[in-house]
């Protein structure tokens, strides 16, 4: 069957499932809309959390960045998985025990201040909008290839799909849709990886194939890749650090702290019945996430090798543009891959030297989606990957948009502006807020500031510098005051935003964001996308300093903080 027809069938079936689930699980109350009724099984919640987590940045962007950054790209693997452990052990169970719908609601109660709640809402919106722009980039890339249209048209179609099932179902619909999306995206990620690993190394396990030898030779796959990229003028794949050791440390820490502070992941743990289930569902989520995250390095390396060898089959033997393969023609239609014959020789020359490089545009975000086509895998595998890319982008976009809508309708409208509105009015306001968030994020997605994973990395830095310290101090210190928390959040996110805008302006500059150039004005050589850890340190320092010179929190607040950390059931035992 023709590839385009097969792709339409596979994607159409998956979309019919998503929309059917959204209709079946339509939210009928604010509890359904915000926390799926609070009755989701831990395994199901773990799977939904994994889908929520494995966004376009993970499915599409991460392997693309590792493919081009090599060893330096490991910051994404270490940061995002390590942060999930922090979230599971230090935040999720305690926030679930507190039992409120949103992160700003906890911050407002813990720091006994509506102002603190509003500041948390502002920080949440800044982080989530930045994050959702990255998802919109992934949606545009996925739909443009699937529909064989330009990027902008693909983005508009994707926005309409997100609007339908996210606005209709709320958290209840999103949760069960994400379970289906996880199944689709993990199959779409691992099946091509198995095929390509077999092709290149003869090993069906990609994780082992990455460290194995190429079929019929004694040459290790990574050694071959190092040789190919060095011959083209790039730095060695397996040892190239991301600018510097301290920058890699800062980048990893920023992603870890940001992971633990992102509201759209945290609210997933409010959907389970018991406190114990929050920790259990985090464990299941880590298992489901690990399947993709341990496969990603193999996908990245094999994709980079296949791409290089397609453009240049042998050293110095470039492919004629007129003889370019079908996958190249397909991606040219999207505008994400472009060729310019600089010396009029008709050959596709690819080099680190920009004066020689005639592939003037190779968007990193196409690597995973194009990989099966480059490797000439069966059409059904290529169609499955298209469905997986769409599932990944849509799943996280929906969760982020719900976090934004909840902050506006529940924390601002119901919590502060109009506390007497009915549940029906609040639910309507939530849907309107989500529709506006989709429109706003889509508009920004037409001119994304960076590659999908790069934009997401900035969102993590903003969450690390603002929300994460407030949650940690709110749970583990009963001495931090409302003045300290407010000052800390403002200082943390303020200095991070200042640093980012100072060095990148309103829009990112791709050449300084991902090609390794280092500004002489960078603080300790730390790039803007990794600055969140510095913002977090500033947040902690300011909050603690201000708390020392302001009145202690009320006694009932201090007792609440102590009770949050006592395991469920232990309080009753202590009373006896």
What would the pLDDT profile of 481-523 be if each residue is shown by its tens digit?
A: 999 999 999 999 999 998 887 765 443 433 334 334 555 568 8
C-alpha span between 560 and 376 (Å, rounded): 60
C-alpha span between 469 and 253 (Å, rounded): 13
452 contacts 137 by C-beta, under 8 angstroms: yes
Residue predicted with more confidence, 554 or 17: 554
Residue predicted with more confidence, 525 or 574: 525
What would the pLDDT profile of 52-90 be if each residue is shown by its tens digit?
A: 777 666 777 788 888 888 888 888 888 888 888 888 888
For residue 206, which of 60, 453, 371, 7 has the smallest C-alpha distance? Answer: 371
Of 233-242, 247-256, 468-477, the poorest mean pLDDT is in 233-242
CA dihedral defined by 203, 204, 208, 214, rounded to 10 degrees? 30
C-alpha span between 47 and 16 (Å, rounded): 20
Of 184-193, 359-368, 371-380, 429-438, the poorest mean pLDDT is in 359-368
Given a cut of 60, whether residue 449 has pLDDT beyond it is no
Structure tokens at 142: 């996925």
For residue 266, which of 393, 124, 115 has the smallest C-alpha distance? Answer: 124
DSSP for 426-471 reads HHHHHHHHHHHHHHHHHHHHTS-SS-HHHHHHHHHHHHHHHHHHHH
C-alpha span between 192 and 303 (Å, rounded): 11
401 contacts 28 by C-beta, under 8 angstroms: no
C-alpha span between 312 and 179 (Å, rounded): 41
For the segment 236-246, the average pLDDT, to the nearest whole number, is 86
Given a cut of 60, whether residue 34 has pLDDT beyond it is no
Report percent pLDDT > 90 for the chain: 23
What domains sit in the chain, N to C, each tagged with a CATH number?
3-569 (1.20.1730.10)
386 contacts 148 by C-beta, under 8 angstroms: no
What pLDDT was estimated at residue 492?
96
**Most confidently modeled range among 162-171, 351-360, 546-555:** 546-555
Q: Assign 159 a pLDDT band (cuts: 50, 70, 90).
A: confident
The rounded Cα 293 to chain-centroid distance in angstroms is 12
Rg (CA), the chain: 24
Convert 93-126 to b/e letters by CB count within 10 Å (16 or more is b): bbbbbbebbbbbbbbbbbbebeebbbbbbbbbbb
How far is residue 246 from each of residues 17, 158, 522, measured CA to CA in Å?
A: 46, 39, 12
Report percent pLDDT > 70 for the chain: 86
In a 13 Å sphere around the CA of 325, the CA atoms on its Cβ side amount to 16
C-alpha span between 118 and 138 (Å, rounded): 30
C-alpha span between 24 and 17 (Å, rounded): 10
What pTM does this model have? 0.81
Q: Beta strands of 24-142 (E only): which ranges?
A: none
Residue-averaged pLDDT of the chain? 81
What pLDDT was estimated at residue 428?
81
Residue predicted with more confidence, 305 or 65: 305
DSSP for 156-168 reads HHHHHHHHHHHHH
């Amino acid at each position: 069957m023709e590839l385009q027809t097969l792709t339409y069938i596979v994607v159409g079936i998956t979309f019919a499932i998503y929309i059917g689930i959204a209709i079946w699980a339509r939210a009928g109350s604010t509890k359904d809309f915000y926390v799926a009724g609070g009755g989701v099984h831990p395994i199901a919640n773990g799977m939904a959390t994994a889908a929520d987590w494995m966004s376009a940045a993970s499915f599409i962007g991460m392997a693309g960045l590792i493919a081009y950054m090599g060893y330096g790209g490991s910051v994404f693997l270490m940061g995002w998985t390590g942060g999930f452990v922090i979230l599971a052990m230090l935040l999720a169970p305690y926030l679930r025990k507190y039992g409120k719908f949103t992160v700003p609601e906890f911050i407002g109660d813990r720091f006994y201040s509506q102002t603190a709640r509003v500041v948390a809402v502002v920080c949440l919106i800044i982080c989530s909008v930045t994050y959702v722009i990255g998802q919109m980039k992934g949606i545009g890339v996925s739909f443009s290839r699937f529909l064989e249209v330009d990027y902008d048209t693909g983005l508009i179609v994707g926005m309409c799909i997100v609007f339908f099932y996210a606005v209709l179902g709320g958290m209840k619909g999103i949760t069960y849709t994400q379970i289906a999306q996880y199944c689709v995206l993990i199959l779409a990620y691992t099946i091509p990886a198995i095929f390509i690993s077999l092709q290149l190394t003869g090993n069906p396990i990609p994780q082992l194939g990455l460290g194995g030898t190429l079929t019929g030779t004694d040459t290790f796959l990574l050694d071959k890749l190092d040789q190919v990229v060095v011959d083209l003028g790039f730095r060695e794949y397996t040892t190239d650090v991301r600018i510097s050791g301290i920058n890699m440390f800062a980048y990893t820490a920023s992603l870890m702290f940001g992971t633990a502070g992102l509201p759209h992941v945290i609210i997933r743990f409010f959907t389970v019945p018991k406190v114990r289930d929050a920790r259990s569902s985090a464990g299941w989520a880590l298992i489901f996430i690990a399947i993709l995250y341990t496969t990603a390095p193999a996908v990245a390396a094999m994709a980079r090798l296949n791409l290089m060898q397609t453009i240049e089959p042998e050293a110095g033997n470039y492919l004629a543009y007129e003889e370019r393969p079908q996958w190249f023609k397909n991606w040219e239609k999207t505008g994400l891959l472009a060729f310019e014959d600089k010396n009029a020789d008709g050959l596709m020359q690819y080099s680190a030297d920009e004066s020689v490089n005639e592939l003037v545009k190779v968007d990193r975000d196409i690597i995973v989606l194009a990989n099966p086509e480059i490797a000439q895998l069966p059409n059904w595998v290529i169609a499955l990957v298209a469905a997986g890319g769409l599932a990944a982008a849509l799943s996280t976009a929906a969760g982020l948009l719900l976090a934004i809508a909840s902050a506006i309708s529940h924390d601002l409208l119901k919590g502060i502006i109009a506390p007497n509105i009915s549940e029906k009015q609040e639910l309507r306001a939530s849907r309107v807020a989500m529709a506006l968030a989709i429109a706003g994020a889509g508009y920004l997605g037409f001119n994304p500031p960076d590659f999908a994973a790069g934009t997401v990395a900035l969102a993590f830095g903003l969450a690390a510098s603002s929300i994460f310290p407030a949650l940690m101090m709110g749970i583990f210190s009963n001495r931090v005051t409302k003045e300290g928390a407010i000052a800390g959040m403002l200082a943390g996110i303020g200095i991070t935003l200042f640093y980012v805008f100072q060095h990148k302006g309103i829009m990112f500059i791709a050449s300084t964001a991902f090609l390794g150039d280092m500004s002489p004005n960078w603080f300790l050589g730390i790039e803007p996308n990794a600055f969140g850890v510095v913002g977090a340190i500033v947040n902690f320092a300011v909050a603690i300093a201000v708390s020392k010179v302001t009145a202690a929190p009320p006694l009932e607040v201090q007792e609440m903080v102590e009770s949050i950390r006592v395991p469920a059931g232990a309080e009753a035992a202590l009373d006896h």
